[in-house]
Amino acid sequence: MATAHKNLSAYDPEQLPDARNMRFGIVVAQWNKEITEALFEGAYKTLIDNGVDQKNIIRMDVPGSFELTFGAKLMLETANVDAVIALGCIIRGETPHFEYISQAVTHGLTELNLKYDKPVIFGVLTTYSLEQARDRAGGKYGNKGAEAAIAAIQMADLSRLR
């Protein structure tokens, strides 16, 4: 696969829209907290590096990835943000929980994108092991949180076309 050994988080800041006047919500699932904290750090740093004021980054913690949908909805309704970044990590165990939670949060966040006029970004890792998650949360394949922040800036800029 072309992306198998590539850091996926590299980007050209010159190509990103101006984010200095944007405001973001970040909803962070507390399951697999080691990973989701690393995702948060990646997202937060990327927003700051692109000129977002720290007072315009609002964090909300929720218990697990299943609760990201409700957390993102609350954020959209109460925090006056330009975009919401939902961060979670679902690791496959021995039961079908993985499939149910992954599908629920994917559908939930998609519904929010259709219902509200502000974008919600999917920053949820779905992996077969903790090691795969670490590789994608600041490890050899970059940081999915940073990628989610870049997507959030791009989508917030697009939504201003409305």
Residue length of the chain? 162
Query: Which residue's Cβ lies closest to ligand DLZ?
Result: 64
Q: Is 75 in the site for ligand DLZ (CB under 6 A)?
A: no
Closest Cα partner for 153 from 1, 4, 8, 22? Answer: 22
Q: Is 65 in the site for ligand DLZ (CB under 6 A)?
A: yes
CB of 104 to ligand DLZ, least distance (A): 8
| Rg, C-alpha atoms of the chain | 15
Which one from 97, 102, 122, 157 is the annotated catalytic residue?
97
Q: Is 32 in the site for ligand DLZ (CB under 6 A)?
A: yes
Q: Is 126 in the site for ligand DLZ (CB under 6 A)?
A: no
Amino acid identity for residue 67 in this structure: E
DSSP 40-94: HHHHHHHHHHTT--GGGEEEEEESSGGGHHHHHHHHHHHS--SEEEEEEEEE--S
Q: Is 139 in the site for ligand DLZ (CB under 6 A)?
A: no
Binds ligand DLZ (CB under 6 A): choice among 66, 87, 138, 149? 66
117 vs 124: CA distance, rounded Å: 21
CB of 97 to ligand DLZ, least distance (A): 4
Q: By CB under 6 A, what part of segment 101-120 binds ligand DLZ?
A: 101
Identify whether the C-beta of residue 82 lies closer than 8 Å to the C-beta of residue 121: no
* Closer residue to ligand DLZ, CB minimum distance, 76 or 86: 86
> Which residues here bind ligand DLZ, judged by CB under 6 A?
29, 31-32, 63-67, 88-91, 93, 97, 101
Q: Which residues are catalytic?
A: 97
